[in-house]
């Protein structure tokens, strides 16, 4: 799956749901926009980002995503696509 570039993400955020959440540092994990105008983040790519950028293990990255990404705003305003 291809990720979107920063310009694409900003365009969708400007034109779609004003409550859509853009996570700082996770633009490379964005793969598109869902039917409700929310950014879609690829789970495996988020794991890769946290592992390479922050030196986490895969388990640490998945736990971080569970609590600090998916847990954000009670999971509203974004979509996580699980592909692992």
Tens digit of pLDDT for each residue in 41-77? 999 999 999 999 999 999 999 999 999 999 988 889 9
pTM value is 0.85
CB 30 within 8 A of CB 16: no
List beta partners, residue 42. Answer: 81
Give, in order, the Cα–Cα distances in Å from 62 to each of 2, 18, 48.
Answer: 21, 27, 10
Residue 10: how many other CB atoms lie within 10 Å: 13
Confidence (pLDDT) at 80: 96
Beta-strand ranges (E) seen in the chain are: 30-33, 39-42, 78-81
């Amino acid at each position: 799956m291809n990720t979107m570039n920063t310009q694409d993400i900003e365009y969708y955020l400007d034109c779609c749901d004003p409550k859509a959440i853009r996570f700082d540092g996770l633009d490379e994990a964005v793969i598109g926009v869902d039917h409700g105008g929310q950014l879609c983040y690829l789970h495996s790519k988020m794991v890769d980002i946290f592992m390479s950028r922050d030196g986490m293990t895969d388990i640490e990255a998945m736990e971080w995503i569970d609590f600090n990404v998916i847990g954000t705003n009670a999971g509203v305003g974004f979509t996580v696509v699980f592909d692992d």
